[in-house]
A = this chain, B = another copy of it.
Amino acid sequence: MNLTNAWNILKDNGFKETSKRNQILELFANDERYLTARDLLDVMQKDYPSMSYDTVYRNLATFVSLGILEETELSGERHFRMQCESDHHHHHFICMDCGKIKEIPVCPMDMLGAALPAYEIANHKFEIYGKCPECK
């Protein structure tokens, strides 16, 4: 996902182009790490001192619902990052030091074909945590 794609999706769904929205998206486009609402606010208040939490959270919710951002919960806080480009389902290794991620092409659900008959599976979560080569 890049800036252009994101704006196409937003426009298609009737969302207006605002400078705040654009800067939030730019921050994600230039950062492969997972970021919190506070991370965003801290950076953005340099350019827009009046930026409020409401604006940040409202836009994050919009972006997630449109599939522009993906979200996960790390140590009790919601974290966001650009939706991956790769078109096939995958999971993530997340570095607990620098926050960078690495795609894991394997999905454990592939092995569980008939392991849960009678169960209705809605979704699943698989994440690996540790240190990336640079941080080790």
In Å, the complex CA distance between A128 and B124 comes to: 4
Copy total for this chain: 2
A131 to chain B: closest residue by CB: B120
**30 A-B residue pairings within 8 Å (CB atoms):** A73-B73, A73-B76, A93-B119, A93-B121, A96-B122, A102-B119, A104-B112, A104-B115, A106-B115, A108-B126, A111-B111, A112-B128, A116-B128, A118-B136, A119-B130, A119-B132, A119-B133, A119-B136, A120-B130, A121-B128, A122-B131, A123-B129, A123-B130, A124-B126, A124-B127, A124-B128, A124-B129, A125-B126, A125-B127, A126-B126
Interface residues of chain A, those whose CB is within 8 Å of chain B, are: 73, 76, 78, 93, 96, 102, 104, 106-109, 111-112, 115-116, 118-133, 136
